């Protein structure tokens, strides 16, 4: 039922990638993390983060935020600015800067960015241009398709009839598979990190995920909660495809065959494959 949308795609990426081989990117991020967490060498960590972020146009927001947090801890405003600007260019919203939690329950390191000081003013000035760059980069047509897939998954996952429910999960998986076969696997690189009301922001006449709740809430055959259609913008992830993949038993086995290609093209982060693997083993 989604195939008709595949004719709507526009050429992907208005800005060409500086480097299409992401094996180097992941190697640089690994070296940065090893330098900081194992070798306790912050300057070396900066070196590898900088090389990764300057070599690649698209980068994963979570990696930018990790680097920014290290820079905040070590009071390097220069690198805090550079890493957050890169995060803005890949979808992080400046309005969420103080919403970032700390797993230890303490204040977030990002709370140290005082909104009255120069660093925040510089970030605020850089944000509009960076946001425009992000919005131009993502493929809104693919995002529209995967948003509908995610909405159907959320609405029907509690349906009391397993055969009906599993049939829908399989159909959703086939949509994701068809996108993969076109080189448009709906990952963070293609659709960006999860964003609330992104279609309204861009002026596109598509339905955002929260809009789908009011269309599907009475059609699922089971209680459908509005909270299922919420997105967390501070997780720095794209979950629209991955949750439907979790619900299809064959997803990990299938994607494992494509993992090397997906990772090398930046269409999958190794941690995403690891998460699918863990869920597959638990089932």
Q: Give the C-alpha separation, 54 to 18, whole Å.
A: 9
Question: Residue 205: what pLDDT?
Answer: 97
Reported as a single tens digit per residue, the pLDDT across 84-94 is 999 999 999 99
DSSP-assigned letters across all residues of 163-214:
HHHHHHHHHHHHHHHHHHHTT---SHHHH-S--TTHHHHHT-SS--HHHHHH
What predicted TM-score, i.e. pTM, was given to this entire model? 0.90
Please give the chain's pLDDT, 283 residues, in tens. Answer: 333 444 344 333 333 344 789 999 999 999 999 999 999 999 999 999 999 999 999 999 999 999 999 999 999 999 999 999 999 999 999 999 999 876 545 678 999 999 999 999 999 999 999 999 999 999 999 999 999 999 999 999 988 889 898 999 999 999 999 999 999 999 999 999 999 999 999 999 999 999 999 999 988 777 889 999 999 999 999 999 988 998 887 788 888 899 999 999 999 999 888 888 787 666 5
Q: What is the largest CA-CA distance in the chain?
A: 58
Q: pLDDT digits over 7-53, tens only?
A: 344 333 333 344 789 999 999 999 999 999 999 999 999 999 999 99
pLDDT at 276: 80
Domain locations in the chain? 22-137, 140-282
Nearest to 193 by CA among 269, 247, 117, 251: 269
């Amino acid at each position: 039922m989604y195939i008709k949308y595949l004719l709507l795609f526009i050429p992907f990426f208005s800005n060409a990638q500086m480097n299409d081989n992401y094996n180097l990117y992941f190697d640089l991020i690994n070296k940065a993390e090893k330098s900081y967490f194992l070798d306790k060498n912050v300057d070396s960590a900066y070196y590898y983060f900088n090389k990764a972020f300057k070599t690649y146009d698209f980068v994963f927001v979570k990696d930018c935020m990790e680097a920014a947090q290290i820079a905040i801890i070590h009071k390097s405003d220069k690198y805090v600015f550079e890493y957050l600007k890169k995060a803005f260019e890949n979808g992080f919203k400046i309005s969420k800067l103080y919403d970032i939690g700390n797993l230890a329950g303490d204040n977030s390191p990002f709370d140290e960015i005082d909104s009255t000081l120069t660093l925040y003013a510089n970030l605020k000035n850089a944000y509009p241009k960076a946001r425009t760059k992000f919005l131009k980069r993502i493929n809104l047509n693919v995002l529209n398709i995967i948003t509908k897939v995610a909405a159907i998954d959320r609405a029907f996952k509690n349906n009391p009839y397993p055969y009906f429910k599993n049939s829908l999960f399989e159909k959703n998986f086939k949509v994701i598979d068809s996108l993969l076969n076109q080189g448009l696997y709906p990952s963070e690189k293609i659709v960006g990190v999860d964003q609330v009301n992104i279609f309204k922001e861009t002026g596109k006449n598509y339905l955002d995920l929260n809009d789908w709740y009011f269309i599907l809430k009475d059609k699922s055959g089971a209680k459908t909660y509005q909270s299922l259609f919420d997105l967390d913008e501070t997780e720095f992830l794209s979950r629209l495809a991955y949750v439907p993949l979790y619900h299809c038993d064959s997803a990990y086995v299938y994607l494992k065959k494509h993992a090397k290609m997906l990772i090398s093209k930046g269409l999958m982060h190794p941690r995403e494959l690891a998460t699918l693997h863990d869920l597959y083993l638990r089932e």
